[in-house]
């Protein structure tokens, strides 16, 4: 029986940080996993890394997209119907 502890947010921060350092400029794939741990999400999102849907529903590619959509919230307007 394996008694390894569950990875923490800090463990994933180190893991993703190391992966980002060694990433080539044309690469976007950081990690391929069979699950989406909440600890990994908490570490990855602030670093610009996201789980992405892939062709295999049992595998989750974690990517850092070079181009991202950005919503300019300072210029945004919400009408009362959306509140």
Res 79: pLDDT? 73
- Is residue 48, in this structure, part of any structural domain at all? yes
- Is residue 80, in this structure, part of any structural domain at all? no
pLDDT < 50 stretches in the chain: 1
Res 1: pLDDT? 46
For the chain, how big is the Rg over CA atoms in Å? 16
- Is residue 73, in this structure, part of any structural domain at all? no
- Is residue 30, in this structure, part of any structural domain at all? yes
- Is residue 40, in this structure, part of any structural domain at all? yes
Ranges assigned E (strand) in the chain: 29-33, 50-51, 60-63
How many domains does one find in the chain? 1
- Is residue 22, in this structure, part of any structural domain at all? yes
Q: Token pair of 48, please?
A: 């610009």
Return d(Cα 59, Cα 7) in angstroms, integer.
Answer: 19
Parent domain of 16: 9-66
């Amino acid at each position: 029986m394996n008694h390894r502890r569950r990875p923490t947010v800090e463990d994933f921060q180190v893991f993703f940080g190391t992966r980002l350092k060694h990433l080539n400029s044309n690469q976007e794939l950081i990690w391929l996993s069979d699950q989406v741990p909440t600890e990994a999400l908490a570490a990855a999102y602030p670093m610009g890394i996201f789980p992405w849907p892939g062709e295999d529903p049992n595998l989750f590619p974690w990517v850092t997209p070079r181009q991202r959509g950005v919503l300019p919230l300072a210029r945004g307007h919400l009408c009362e119907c959306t509140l």
